[in-house]
Chains A and B, each alone.
Chain A
Amino acid sequence: MTKLLEVKGLHAGYGQTKVLHGIDFSIDEGSVTTLLGANGAGKTTTLRALCGMIRRSGDILLSGEQINRKQTEDIVRVGVAHVPDGRGTFTRQTVEENLQLGAMARSDKAGIAQDLELVFSYFPILKERRTQQAGLLSGGEQQMLAVGRALMLRPKLMLLDEPSFGLAPMITREIFEIFRELNRKEKVSMLVVEQNAQIALELADQAYLLETGRIVFSGRADDIRDDENLRKAYLGY
């Protein structure tokens, strides 16, 4: 399978504090990859480094093209959509305006209108609330909005930062079900960062375990799920 994203020797941190100490991983075209780890392992930092929000060094290749020097706003333009931690809702704008903002990097009006309908077909609740202020949505709805907004980019790769955070188990399940559908039908590759290892491993093809800024294990998601020792040691279930 061809590699969509290849990361080699990625270092990153905040000011003087180093968080990532040279991690390597890759994402196959069309697959779902998950990055698991405890608090402070560097999961969110990895996503921020990929998006160019923080200082980083190392190779980041998207379809073979080096993107490690690009600014955040330019990385969006090569098809990487980031669903940030805390969802990044534009609280004072309407649901529809939020979705339109997701397509800021595009200029094909007809395609954008089409994709708006596509998003509404995956998340009918957003259509019901399209003229409401986004800040009024519930946590689950805001997560759906964040994913819908990322979809408006027509991304090759979606980076999802703890989509289950603060959501009821049932809503989490529902949202992960939609991720699976998006991956299959819309051919969006995904990198999911999660603390909820169980649900992430059900969705993912490939998994990496991150511990204090280093990758300590990688393999097929199924293998990790079936390996009780590994689960107990790193994932606590």
Chain B
Amino acid sequence: MSVNLEEAAEHPAVAVDIETRPLGRDRTLKILFGILIFVVAIALPFVTKSFFVFQVTMVMIYAIAILGLNLLTGFNGQFSLGHAAFYAIGAYTAAILMDKAGISYVWTLPVAGIVCFVFGFLFGLPALRLEGIYLALATFALSVATPQILKLSPLEHWTGGVQGIVIMKPDAPFGLPLNQDQWLYFFTLIVTAIMFWMASNMLRSRTGRAMMAIRDNPIASRSMGVNNSLYKATTFGISATYTGIAGALGAIVVQFVAPDSFTVVLSIALLVGLVVGGVGWIPGAFFGGLFVLFVPNIAESISKGLSGAFYGLILMLLVFIMPTGVAGFLALIRHKVLRRGA
């Protein structure tokens, strides 16, 4: 495609094409990127420190959670400020299964996924009546309520109340010569790859087209025979599944769950990650994950007392420089390079 950006500014649809496909529709470029990322991903835990390996593992986990939010917001047009709740449900499901039932960490992921799908779907049903800002408020309420519900004393036997639950870090299986952090890194890498692969396949299928049709024009999508209600509630469920599996992985990697890790602050962080990465662009979730994990640390290293202010400043700068997220920014660079070459 040979559009220029002035043209893009006048035609929103071109701009959207740039945002959702910042690397264009060029296959070779994508394959090259893929190989590069693969090599770096395999080599990384052997050449860096343990703590950094842990941090990158967390980036992938946030990326899965943000991808879940992106499926709902970026591809189906529904807002959520409540995804910390699904993250929490996933995390607690994994922790309780491991702590109380002694189930292997591997099996906690599918169970957390199913539990979160049910919760997400059920929450998606009343959400059908709400749009935009009202849905944002309803999901916000969900997020506010969750930590308090987790602290309730009747549930304390399961949730550990305010104390939360401590779980054990798993060792590498089959006698693999990896330490615990390295193994969890690879385990998360595999799960991440599967989750992203499934999401991109789904979005290319009829189901994905229907999801996006609802986002683009809900009235016309019904005229195509799409059952909007069913699709929207199901998308809510799938979105919650992704974020819940991320929560379960997070619990395993951090070895600890407690109610106050899953406040509305986490919901907002996921939303920020989504916007920074690029709404409606799948790989954007990784950039969002990087932001969620590293920017608070950077802000703190600048000034301990004013870390919140510096976080805000960095966020404002990023939004100012890249108003459409990393996706739009990459597209801009690509078009500049292409034009110079032409």
- Chain A residues in the interface with B (C-beta under 8 A): 51, 53, 72-74, 76-77, 81-82, 84, 88-93, 97, 100-102, 104-105, 131, 133-136, 149, 153
Cβ-defined partner of A73 (8 Å) among B13, B20, B216, B222: B222
Q: Which chain A residues border B17 with CB–CB below 8 Å?
A: 92, 133
Contacts of B227 in A (CB 8 A): 73
Q: Is B209 an interface residue (CB 8 A)?
A: yes
Counting from the closest, the 7 A-B pairs by CB-CB distance are: A88-B220, A135-B13, A105-B225, A76-B225, A90-B216, A72-B222, A82-B223
CA–CA, A77 to B225, complex, Å?
7
Count the A-B residue pairs with Cβ separation under 8 angstroms: how many?
Answer: 82
| Alpha-carbon separation in the docked complex, A121 to B77 (Å) | 34
Residues of A within 8 A of B25 (CB): 131
Min CB distance A228 to B, Å, is: 38
The CA of A78 and the CA of B31, in the complex, are separated in Å by 44
Closest CB in chain B relative to A135 CB, distance in Å: 3
How near does chain A come to B269, taking the closest CB pair, in angstroms? 27
Partner among A53, A81, A136 whose Cβ is within 8 Å of the Cβ of B11 = A136
Q: Which residues of B contact A149 (CB under 8 A)?
A: 224
CB of B48 within 8 Å of the partner chain? no
- State whether A93 touches B16 (Cβ < 8 A): no
Instruction: Please indicate which of the listed interface residues B14, B25, B225 has the most CB atoms of chain A within 10 Å of its own CB.
Output: B225
Q: List 30 A-B contacts (CB under 8 A).
A: A51-B223, A72-B222, A72-B223, A73-B225, A73-B228, A76-B225, A77-B225, A84-B220, A84-B223, A88-B220, A90-B221, A91-B16, A91-B217, A92-B16, A92-B17, A92-B20, A92-B280, A93-B213, A97-B209, A100-B209, A101-B210, A104-B206, A104-B209, A104-B210, A104-B224, A104-B226, A135-B12, A136-B13, A149-B224, A153-B225
Q: Does B168 contact A (CB under 8 A)?
A: no
- Interface SS of chain B: helix, strand, loop or mixed? helix
Contact with A along B1-45 (1 / 0, CB 8 A): 000000000011110110010000100000000000000000000
Give the size range of B's interface with the partner.
20 to 34
Within the complex, the shortest CB–CB distance from A17 to chain B, in Å, comes to 19
B positions within 8 Å CB-CB of A: 11-14, 16-17, 20, 25, 206, 209-210, 212-213, 215-217, 219-228, 280
Chain A residues with Cβ under 8 A from B228's Cβ? 73
A90 proximity list for chain B (CB < 8 A): 212-213, 216-217, 220-221
Q: With a CB–CB cut-off of 8 A, which chain B residues contact A133? A: 13-14, 16-17
Q: Kindly identify which residue among A88, A91, A104, A134 contacts B219, using a CB–CB cutoff of 8 Å.
A: A88
With A and B bound together, what is the CA distance between A102 and B14 in angstroms? 23
Question: Residue of A at shortest CB range from B3?
Answer: A136
Give complex CA distance A84, B223 in Å.
Answer: 8
> How many angstroms from the CA of A97 to the CA of B11 in the assembled complex?
20
Q: A88-B223, A89-B220 are in contact. List 13 more A-B contacts (CB 8 A).
A: A73-B225, A76-B224, A84-B219, A91-B13, A91-B16, A92-B16, A92-B215, A92-B280, A93-B209, A101-B213, A101-B224, A133-B14, A136-B14
A-chain residues with CB within 8 Å of residue B217 when the two chains form the complex: 88-91
Task: Assess A73 versus B226: contact at CB under 8 Å? Given A90-B213, A101-B210, A101-B213.
Answer: yes
Which chain B residue has the least Cβ–Cβ distance from A135? B13
| C-alpha spacing A74/B11, complex, angstroms | 35
Of B11, B25, B222, the most chain A CB neighbours within 10 A belong to: B222
